[in-house]
Amino acid sequence: MGHIPYAWDSFKTLLRETPIKIAIAATLGATIASGISYHHESTRDYNIPLSFSEKTQLERDAERKEKKLGPMTVYLTTTNDATMNVFESYNLAGRPILPNVDHTFAMELEMVMDPTYKTHHYSLAELLKAIPYEADAALEELKDFNTFRGDLGTPLSHFDSSWNESHIDHYRTEWRTVCSTDSKGNSDCHQESYQVYDHTTHTYTYHPDSGEKASTTLDALLLKCPVLKFPEILPVPSQTNAEGEYVAEKTHPKKEGETIFSPERYMSIATIWRRGSTLMTNLPIISENVQALRRDANYWRLAKRTAKSDSYNTPSPIDNGPAEFQVVDHTKKHGRTTQRAIGEIVEGVSKAKNIAPKLERTIQEYIAVVLDHKPGNARKLRSEILDLTREIYNGNFKSGEDVDGFRWWMVALLTLGGAAMGGLIGYGWDHLGNELEWYEDNLPPESRWENRHNWDNNRRS
């Protein structure tokens, strides 16, 4: 028992003479934060929000009007519902009463893959098989957009070549007196030089041939494509149905003051595939920037007449350049934004076309490994299924549901935050402990109280 008082005294000495309190508090803060964030992310991983598209209802609505759904509607609803089937199966696999995630996930996937189970109107296998063909039809509908994206590269290349810019910073030498004192109290002062920013020379070199080609090719492209408009209107279902409403309410949190979901809330969730699609998100961006390009073409047609090389000094390293240079700069920005927005739509569809067959094969292999005990790594296959499904969904529904699941970066971020907060608390503990002499055993209680009283008075003054 004699070792305990000795250990306690040693521990108090350590607390008194070292800043270990900061490390202890930081470690404790990081541990608590990482535990809480890990639990939160684990819960989130099996609670992916689900929003089915009411595809069958849309088909019934179109049939009643003696019409057919457009190619993009068919493709997007198929892609949305295929990915939602996978996410729903994964959510069910994460129920805490079920210990074997792989077994449950494989069983749920087997049911939604098999058309005979009729868990949904379309089986997952049917949806995945349809995606490549429907993607081809959707890409055909995007043909004008994709052609415009490619053709836009020519004038943008000429705009890139029309101007060169350079910015050279200049510095001047200044002097200051530096003094130091050695251990014997002897002082020594001397002059020391240092560099101070003075000004910047900005040089803009204009290349008329490229500027003329940029103007000609952009005008020709805009004349060739006077209107860039998507030909299809994505429909809204006339109603939502019980099956979709059930999963929507089960996987979406209620808003403040909301006891049950209203018909409007159900409809809002059922149309996330539409308004959250990369297509609908990017079309306004494309339209806005194409209109800007038309204005830019007019501005440059005038600006190129006065464009010339120039060089001047300013007291700042930042400079916007001559007015003619700025016209080109804005044109390039609008053009590249247009290309990027179109590219996201087209590449999302192309990606789903290529990934869907691989996803179907991986699901079949996973089911065989888990349920039929074929050789293979179930955990790796499960991870691949989720990664492929998320890649398809995020590429086509950039403003859709948050399907990212467990976020390791969030755990790391909160752990660092917890460590920082704990470190601050530890610093305060260390400072107060030294001020109030908490670890001095030789002080009587009244002296401890006197120290604290004096510290309080000093702090107030």
CB 381 within 8 A of CB 109: no
What are the structure tokens assigned to 29, written together?
């803060």
Q: What is the pLDDT of residue 258?
A: 83
pLDDT reading at 22 higher than 80: no
Q: What is the pLDDT of residues 427-442, one digit of tens each?
A: 565 555 555 555 555 4
Q: Tell me the mean pLDDT in the region 358-383.
A: 97
Q: What is the pLDDT of residue 13?
A: 61
d(C-alpha 65, C-alpha 51), whole Å: 25
Q: What is the pLDDT of residue 394?
A: 98
pLDDT reading at 101 higher than 50: yes
Task: Look at 32 and 286; give whichever has higher pLDDT.
Answer: 286
Contacts of residue 171, defined as CB under 8 A and 6 or more positions apart, other chains included, come to 195, 196, 197, 198
- Model confidence, pTM: 0.80
pLDDT reading at 242 higher than 80: yes
Which range of 222-236, 334-348, 413-427 scores highest in mean pLDDT? It is 334-348
Lowest mean pLDDT among 89-103, 234-248, 374-388: 89-103
Q: Tell me the mean pLDDT in the region 382-389.
A: 97
pLDDT reading at 23 higher than 70: no
The mean pLDDT value of the chain amounts to 86
Closest by CA to 91, choosing from 80, 79, 105, 78, is: 105
pLDDT reading at 299 higher than 90: yes
Percent of the chain with pLDDT over 90: 68
Question: What proportions of the chain, in percent to the nearest 5, are helix, strand and coil?
Answer: 65, 10, 25
Q: What is the pLDDT of residue 20?
A: 59
Half-sphere exposure of 95 (CA within 13 A, CB side): 10
